Chain A
Amino acid sequence: GQQLNQSPQSMFIQEGEDVSMNCTSSSIFNTWLWYKQDPGEGPVLLIALYKAGELTSNGRLTAQFGITRKDSFLNISASIPSDVGIYFCAGYPGSARQLTFGSGTQLTVLP
């Protein structure tokens, strides 16, 4: 099936630093979604992107839908301890109605 390459796999950053993670695909995606998952919980939707080139913010989070429709990035500015968790990109390849998930980025914020 379709695969999303998400990087980095894990990040250790100091509180207050900015962080960036991205997803790439070999095929075109029509939608990109970014989720955060805390331990033992389900993913929570952070940002949804609907068209190529779109740049959307949600508080300290900013995400962009790549112009080629094959990539997306998520930036977190001024990280805080509660940003700790696993971040997943997800999207619908082509005309698919099922989400494809990236492998996740484990974020650790050091005090």
Chain B
Amino acid sequence: GAVVSQHPSRVICKSGTSVKIECRSLDFQATTMFWYRQFPKQSLMLMATSNEGSKATYEQGVEKDKFLINHASLTLSTLTVTSAHPEDSSFYICSANTGGIEQYFGPGTRLTVT
């Protein structure tokens, strides 16, 4: 149980375009999902908390107009990177919890902006 999927696993886009990343909880409902980014050889940095049916809560320094989060259902949250630039290239990982304290992570999405 507690499986989280992400799609796509890898994406390459051109600078200035937008990219959408999906995060799904496959066998449980998640009222809260979390989006992280991870640079090479670094730890995970929380970007935002995604709440089903309400606005996401962004961490300090994360531009909410650039990283659009939509938590449309109890099993799906999406992160859209708008007007992507090369510095947005990173590993994006989502997580969800089953109502307890454990967070289960998706396999990540490698974004490369050329």
Binding site for B on A (CB under 8 A): 31, 33, 35, 40-45, 48, 50, 88, 90, 92, 97-99, 101-104
Contact A44 B34 (CB under 8 A): no
How many residue pairs at the A-B interface have CB separations less than 8 Å? 49
Binding site for A on B (CB under 8 A): 4, 6, 32, 34, 42-44, 46, 49, 91, 93, 95, 101-108, 110
Contact A101 B43 (CB under 8 A): yes
- Chain A residues near B110 (CB, 8 Å)? 40
Which of A44, A102, A103 is in CB contact (< 8 Å) with B105?
A44
Contact B103 A45 (CB under 8 A): yes
- Chain A residues near B107 (CB, 8 Å)? 41-42
Q: List 17 A-B contacts (CB under 8 A).
A: A40-B110, A42-B93, A42-B95, A42-B106, A42-B107, A42-B108, A50-B101, A88-B44, A90-B103, A97-B32, A97-B49, A99-B46, A99-B95, A101-B43, A101-B44, A103-B42, A104-B43
Which of A45, A101, A102, A103 is in CB contact (< 8 Å) with B102?
A45
A50 to chain B, nearest CB (A): 8
- Given A48-B101, A98-B49, also A41-B43 (CB < 8 A): no
CB-nearest residue of chain A relative to B108? A42
- Chain B residues near A104 (CB, 8 Å)? 42-43
Task: A48 to B101: give the CA distance in the assembly, Å.
Answer: 9
CB-nearest residue of chain A relative to B104? A45
Q: Lowest 9 CB-CB distances: which A-B pairs, in order?
A: A42-B105, A101-B43, A42-B108, A43-B105, A42-B107, A42-B93, A101-B44, A31-B101, A103-B43
A84 to chain B, nearest CB (A): 15
A sample of 6 more A-B contacts (CB under 8 A), given A42-B108, A99-B46, is: A35-B105, A40-B108, A42-B105, A43-B105, A97-B49, A101-B43
